[in-house]
């Protein structure tokens, strides 16, 4: 396979709410939640931000970072579980807003938290088969956790865009492998504002089974082992799951550290492990190898193996890093958060 | 605003695409298809603005029309783009920071929506340049 | 062109007229103007109806015919025309009537204006008024009318050091004048503190910096000057009727603190009347917001640019001051039924020049000016009236 990442861009809204602030509203013990989730705060969208605006900002940064001609993008897919429209693509807005229309194909993807990595795989196939020159894969979400539900402490907002191509790769995609079964661990029915989940069922039969199976499947296929990689990124619904799954697979804490953005960001769903990958690319050196595995409830995992090229240095400073996006947040209280998230209706 | 009306202007609103008169060098945003200086002698072509500019004047709107009530209080401003033309938009920043002369850059935001059932309008607002 | 005179005026009460409909208030104003002019209905040659937004406020268009019909003039088949220029609709209807008489096309013409604004909720009213701005490039960005004038105010304060207290002084003065006008919506005194402590609408404009939502109608009867004395002993002569356009959007205005359409209309009017701002004894100006009166007196040439802020504070523009502004209470206190305002201003000038303005009478007034603005300054209409032909 001769495809890779040509550029990437990230966007995180500037607002944060601390776990303590949410816990206070529900009379919960913040420290035990922080210990349990390894999440201290999460990002919150502005009142006029949604999955589409976040996707556009990330996509624009991806285009600007490497000076991409948007007219060369032949496919664009936006993965999200919070598309503003039930019917009507988010991707058309994004494509128009980045100047990629009209000579391209696009669609919206949904697969809980792994719609973004599914979009990467789709772009890989199209680029590798020469159907298109460049493909853009976006993971963007303004996820909703029901008030008082455990998910409310982590459901965050953010987006990541990757441009996939053959020429000028900053990270070669060595291989990808997916593991998928029908496992209903988390869902949201049509017309419902908040998702439902299977509690602890989402852990063992959901996250851990699929992530480990996909990761081991890819390493088996490639003949690689954890120590062959400089860095590893796993889907991060909280801090605990990726830390534990890394250990189960034989990766070290040092390998996952740069990509573990969830403690200060929360779970950006379709953007989650893609954000971790971006944070890793922000600091990676040429020839570093990165391992990544996403997870989408329902359930499935996409595992990827990357090798960073020397082009990374050239484009790195062309757009804000994940660290820059995480810096200088504006903290808000629960009342403001409720307004921002549309929990108050006028 | 109706769907066709918004759709017709969508590229302008998304990407700050205005017009430019090749005859007199005038820059127009919002776009004009007749150069106000050269009139029929003008040569009008599309022009994409960089999206950076400066706050000329502003207000904080506390009482808004129905579709914008959820956003109040919000900052409404006249912004002079670096290329010259002025436009009206919102600035997203703290109410303590906003001032005449503030340097700003464009950001992609929701402009509004026609109720929960209707279409969502997207377009360009502004944020402080140092962001 | 023939000289034109106002031979009769009429005006309803201004306010929340819950029990009266649009057609009723227009007919009421029209009938009182006709009675004042002492003309028979059969003598009327044409009707001009100023109205901004019947379509939004009462879901009714075709207002010319409606008014002709309910004025009992349908059987005479006289031409009746609705005129629209946002908040300058009334001033423009008056101007159309004047042109019709001056040109010799018609002799006796009624020019009136009416707006019924309280039949819909305040959000619809706000949105209907916002249509006077550029919907595609201002309205969609969340611009409201108070918001646009607040941006003028902010820049005026920034450039000229105008103070909030000076804005407030305009409202205080106009409320004081309103106490002497039995038709005004607000007939109560207010203090600077009342204004400064009132609810913020669009910073720095507070609710007492804004004209209210009002129902009301006004009408004048116009006739050729040479026959005016047949109807009245005190015809008031139209010395100038001028109109000018500016950019519809505030952001395209060359100077955001100058309504250049006002400057252009005023210059034309002064030239037409062979007069200067110094010769104007008093004026009714478009104070839809307190800052609007400050800009108006500057742009009309009564004070230098940037010095408008001091005028109300120093008493310059009070009744008894050097140039009394808005003796009727203005849009602020008398109320602002948008289509009626421009005509009501002419009614006030007529009463003042006739010496019939009661407690608010300006002594020895010979020449008065009206100034009516559409939107943030896209249209300006200036009229000058005199006791002498």
> Check: CATH 3.40.50 for B51-128?
no
Q: What chains are in contact with B, requiring at least 3 Cβ pairs below 8 Å?
A: A, C
Q: Do C203 and C218 fall within a single domain?
A: no
On chain A, the residues whose CB falls within 8 A of the CB of B128 are none
Q: For residue C41, give Cα distances in angstroms to C35, C63, C101, C232.
A: 10, 19, 17, 16
The pLDDT of residue B130: 81
Is B122's CB within 8 Å of A14's CB?
A: no
Q: Compute the nearest-CA separation of B34 from chain C (Å).
A: 14
Q: Do C287 and C380 fall within a single domain?
A: yes
In a domain, C13, yes or no: yes
Residue A317 DSSP label? G
Is B111's CB within 8 Å of C144's CB?
A: no
**Which residues, other chains included, contact A199 with Cβ-Cβ below 8 Å and sequence gap of 6+?**
none
Q: What is the mean pLDDT of residues C178-200?
A: 98
Q: Do C179 and C227 fall within a single domain?
A: no
3-state secondary structure string across chain C: CCCEEEEEEEECCCECCCCCCHHHHHHHHHHHHHHHHCCCHHHCCEEEEECCCHHHHCCCCCHHHHHHHHCCCHHHCCCEEEECECECHHHHHHHHHHHHHHCCCCCCEEEEEEECCCCCCHHHHHHHHHCCCCCCCCHHHCCCHHHHHHHHHHHHHHHHCCCHHHHHHHHHHHHHHHCCCCCCCCCCCCCHHHHHCCCEEEECEEHHHECCCCEEEEEEEEEEHHHHHHCCCCCEEEEEEEEEECCCCHHHCCCCCCCHHHHHHHHHHHHHCCCCHHHCCEEECCCCEHHHHHHHHHHCCCCCCCCHHHHHHHCCCCCCCCCCECCCCHHHHHCCCHHHHHHHHHHHHHHHHHCCCHHHCCCCCCEEEEEEEECCCCEEEEEEEECCC
Q: For residue A190, give Cα distances in angstroms to A80, A82, A139, A295.
A: 15, 12, 21, 22
Residue C126 confidence class, pLDDT cut points 50, 70, 90? confident
In a domain, C94, yes or no: yes
- Name the percent of chain A lying above pLDDT 90: 95
Mutation for C interface: B5, B11, B54, B65, most C CBs within 10 A: B65
A306 with A10: CB under 8 angstroms?
no
Q: Catalytic positions of A, please?
A: 81, 113, 235
Q: What does pLDDT average to over chain C?
A: 97
pLDDT in tens, A279-302: 999 999 999 999 999 999 999 999
In a domain, C52, yes or no: yes
B87 with B102: CB under 8 angstroms?
no
Q: Do C232 and C242 fall within a single domain?
A: no
Give the C-alpha separation, C50 to C91, whole Å.
Answer: 8
Q: What is the mean pLDDT of residues C38-51?
A: 96
Nearest residue on chain B to A339, judged by CA atoms?
A: B70
Nearest residue on chain B to C206, judged by CA atoms?
A: B62
Is C250's CB within 8 Å of B59's CB?
A: no
On chain A, the residues whose CB falls within 8 A of the CB of B107 are 57
Residue A296 DSSP label? B
Q: Do C137 and C55 fall within a single domain?
A: no
Phi–psi pair at C328, nearest 5 degrees: -70, -15
Is C200's CB within 8 Å of B76's CB?
A: no
Whether residue A342 is predicted with pLDDT greater than 70 in this model: the reply is yes
On chain B, the residues whose CB falls within 8 A of the CB of A57 are 107-108
The pLDDT of residue A200: 85
Q: Compute the nearest-CA separation of B79 from chain C (Å).
A: 8
Is C147's CB within 8 Å of B87's CB?
A: no
Nearest residue on chain C to B124, judged by CA atoms?
A: C141
Q: Do C67 and C80 fall within a single domain?
A: yes
In a domain, C247, yes or no: yes
Q: Compute the nearest-CA separation of B66 from chain A (Å).
A: 9
In a domain, C127, yes or no: no
Residue A202 confidence class, pLDDT cut points 50, 70, 90? confident
Residue C123 confidence class, pLDDT cut points 50, 70, 90? confident
Q: Do C44 and C159 fall within a single domain?
A: no
- In chain C, the number of structural domains is 2
Q: Do C224 and C287 fall within a single domain?
A: no
Residue A345 confidence class, pLDDT cut points 50, 70, 90? confident
Please check whether residue C205 touches B, CB under 8 A. yes
Contacts with B, C 240-259, CB within 8 Å: 249-252, 256
Nearest to B59 among C123, C127, C202 (CB): C202
Instruction: Write down the domain spans for chain B.
Output: 51-128
Q: Compute the nearest-CA separation of B106 from chain C (Å).
A: 13
The pLDDT of residue C161: 98
Q: Catalytic positions of C, please?
A: 87, 336
The side-by-side arrangement of strands in the sheet containing A73-79 is A105-109, A73-79, A134-142, A157-165, A4-11, A171-183, A298-308, A289-293, A231-234
Q: What is the mean pLDDT of residues C331-360?
A: 98
Whether residue C262 is predicted with pLDDT greater than 70 in this model: the reply is yes
Give the C-alpha separation, B51 to A137, whole Å.
Answer: 25
Residue A250 DSSP label? T
Domain housing C137: 132-211+238-386
Is B63's CB within 8 Å of C126's CB?
A: yes
Q: Do C285 and C173 fall within a single domain?
A: yes
Is C140's CB within 8 Å of B121's CB?
A: yes
> Which of C236, C270, C301 is the last residue in one of the domains?
C236
Nearest to B108 among A14, A57, A85 (CB): A57
Angle at C13 between CA C11 and CA C17, to 5 degrees: 125
Nearest to A97 among B14, B92, B131 (CB): B14
Whether residue B131 is predicted with pLDDT greater than 70 in this model: the reply is no
Q: Do C242 and C114 fall within a single domain?
A: no
Please check whether residue C158 touches B, CB under 8 A. yes
Residue C226, domain CATH = 3.40.47.10
pLDDT in tens, C54-109: 999 999 999 999 999 999 999 999 999 999 999 999 999 999 999 999 999 999 99
pLDDT in tens, A20-61: 999 999 999 999 999 999 999 999 999 999 999 999 999 999
Beta-strand relationship, A4-11 and A171-183: antiparallel
What domains appear along chain A, each with residue ranges and CATH number?
4-170+315-340 (3.40.47.10), 171-312 (3.40.47.10)
On chain B, the residues whose CB falls within 8 A of the CB of A338 are none
Nearest residue on chain B to A101, judged by CA atoms?
A: B11
Enumerate the H helices of A30-111 as residue ranges: 30-37, 51-66, 90-97
Q: Do C218 and C280 fall within a single domain?
A: no
In a domain, C317, yes or no: yes
pLDDT in tens, C153-164: 999 999 999 999
C306 with C160: CB under 8 angstroms?
yes
Whether residue C278 is predicted with pLDDT greater than 80 in this model: the reply is yes
C195 with C296: CB under 8 angstroms?
no
In a domain, C324, yes or no: yes
C9 with C347: CB under 8 angstroms?
yes
Q: Which helix (H) or strand (E) holds A149?
A: none
Q: What does pLDDT average to over chain A?
A: 96
Interface residues of A toward B, Cβ cutoff 8 Å, are 14, 46-50, 52-53, 56-57, 60, 84-85, 93, 96-97, 99, 330, 339, 346
Q: A100: how many CB neighbours lie within 10 A of its CB?
A: 25
Structure token digits, residue A286: 């040429």
- Name the percent of chain A lying above pLDDT 70: 99
Residue A244 DSSP label? H
User: Which residues are paired to B48 by β-bridges?
Assistant: B17
pLDDT in tens, A123-150: 999 999 999 999 999 999 999 899 999 9
Q: What is the mean pLDDT of residues C230-250?
A: 97
């Amino acid at each position: 396979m001769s495809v890779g990442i040509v550029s990437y861009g990230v966007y995180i809204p500037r607002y944060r709410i601390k776990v303590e602030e949410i816990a206070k509203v529900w009379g919960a013990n913040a420290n035990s939640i922080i210990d349990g989730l390894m999440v201290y705060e999460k990002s919150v969208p502005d009142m006029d931000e949604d999955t589409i605006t976040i996707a556009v900002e990330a996509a624009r940064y991806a285009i600007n970072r490497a000076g991409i001609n948007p007219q060369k993008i032949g496919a664009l897919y936006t993965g999200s579980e919070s598309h503003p429209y039930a019917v009507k693509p988010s991707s058309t807005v994004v494509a128009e807003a980045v100047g990629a229309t009209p000579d391209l194909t696009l669609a919206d993807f949904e697969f809980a938290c792994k719609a973004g990595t599914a979009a990467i795989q789709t772009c890989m196939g199209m680029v590798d088969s020469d159907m298109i020159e460049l493909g853009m894969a976006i993971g963007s979400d303004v996820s909703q956790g029901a008030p008082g539900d455990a998910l409310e402490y982590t459901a965050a907002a953010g987006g990541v865009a990757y441009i996939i191509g053959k020429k000028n790769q900053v990270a070669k995609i060595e291989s990808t492998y997916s593991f998928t079964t029908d496992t209903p661990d988390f869902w949201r029915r049509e017309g419902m504002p908040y998702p439902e989940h299977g509690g602890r069922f989402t852990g063992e039969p959901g996250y851990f089974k699929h992530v480990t199976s996909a990761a081991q499947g890819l390493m088996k296929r490639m003949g690689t082992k954890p120590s062959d990689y400089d860095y590893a990124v796993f889907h991060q619904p909280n801090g605990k799951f990726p830390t534990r799954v890394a250990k189960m697979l034989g990766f070290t804490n040092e390998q996952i550290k740069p990509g573990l953005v969830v403690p200060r960001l929360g779970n950006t769903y379709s953007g989650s492990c893609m954000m971790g990958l971006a944070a890793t690319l922000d600091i990676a050196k040429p020839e570093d190898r990165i391992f990544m595995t996403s997870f989408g409830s329902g359930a499935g995992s996409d595992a990827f193996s990357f090798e960073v090229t020397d082009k990374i240095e050239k484009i790195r400073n062309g757009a804000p890093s994940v660290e820059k996006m995480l810096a200088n947040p504006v903290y808000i209280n629960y009342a403001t958060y409720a307004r921002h998230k549309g929990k108050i209706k006028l | 605003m109706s769907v066709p009306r918004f759709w017709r202007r969508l590229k302008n609103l998304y990407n700050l695409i205005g017009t430019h008169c090749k005859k007199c060098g005038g820059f127009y945003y919002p776009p004009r298809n007749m150069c106000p200086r050269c009139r029929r002698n003008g040569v009008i072509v599309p022009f994409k603005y960089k999206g950076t500019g400066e706050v000329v004047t502003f207000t904080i709107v506390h009482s808004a029309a129905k579709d914008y009530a959820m956003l109040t209080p919000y900052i409404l401003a006249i912004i002079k783009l670096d290329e010259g033309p002025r436009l009206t938009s919102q600035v997203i920043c703290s109410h303590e920071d906003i001032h005449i002369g503030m340097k700003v850059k464009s950001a992609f935001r929701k402009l509004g929506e026609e109720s929960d059932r209707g279409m969502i309008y997207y377009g360009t607002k502004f944020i402080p340049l140092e962001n | 062109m023939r000289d034109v005179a106002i031979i009769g005026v009429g005006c309803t009460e201004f306010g929340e007229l819950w029990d009266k409909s649009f057609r009723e208030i227009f007919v009421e104003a029209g009938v009182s103007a006709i009675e004042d002019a002492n003309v028979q209905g059969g003598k009327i040659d044409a009707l001009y109806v100023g109205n901004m937004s019947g379509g939004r406020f009462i879901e009714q268009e075709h207002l010319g015919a409606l008014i002709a019909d309910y004025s009992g003039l349908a059987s005479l088949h006289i031409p009746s025309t609705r005129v629209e220029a946002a908040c300058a609709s009334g001033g423009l209807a008056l101007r159309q009537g004047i042109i019709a008489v001056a040109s010799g096309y018609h002799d006796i013409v009624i020019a009136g204006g009416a707006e019924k604004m309280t039949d819909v909720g305040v959000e619809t009213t706000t949105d209907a008024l916002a249509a006077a701005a550029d919907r595609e490039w201002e309205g969609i960005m969340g611009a409201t009318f108070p918001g646009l004038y607040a941006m003028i105010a902010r820049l005026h304060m920034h450039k000229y050091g105008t103070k909030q207290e000076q804005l407030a002084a305009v409202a205080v003065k106009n409320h004081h004048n309103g106490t002497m006008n039995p038709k005004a919506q607000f007939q109560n005194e207010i203090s600077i503190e009342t204004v400064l402590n009132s609810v913020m609408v669009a910073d720095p404009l507070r609710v007492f910096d804004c004209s209210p939502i009002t129902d009301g109608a006004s009408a004048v009867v116009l006739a050729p000057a040479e026959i005016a004395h047949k109807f009245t002993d005190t015809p008031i002569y139209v010395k100038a009727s001028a109109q000018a356009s500016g950019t519809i959007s505030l952001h395209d205005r060359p100077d955001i603190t100058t309504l250049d359409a006002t400057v252009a209309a005023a210059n034309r009017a002064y030239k037409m009347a062979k007069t200067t701002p110094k010769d104007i004894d008093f004026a009714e100006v478009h104070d839809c917001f307190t800052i609007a009166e400050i800009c108006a007196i500057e742009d009309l040439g009564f004070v230098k640019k940037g010095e408008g802020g001091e005028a109300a504070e120093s008493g310059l523009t009070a009744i008894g001051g050097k140039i009394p502004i808005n003796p009727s209470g203005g849009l602020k206190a008398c109320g602002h039924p948008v289509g009626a305002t421009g005509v009501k201003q002419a009614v006030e000038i007529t009463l003042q020049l006739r010496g019939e303005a009661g407690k608010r009478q300006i002594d020895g007034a010979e020449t008065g000016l009206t100034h009516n603005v559409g939107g943030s300054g896209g249209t300006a209409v200036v009229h000058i009236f005199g006791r002498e032909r």
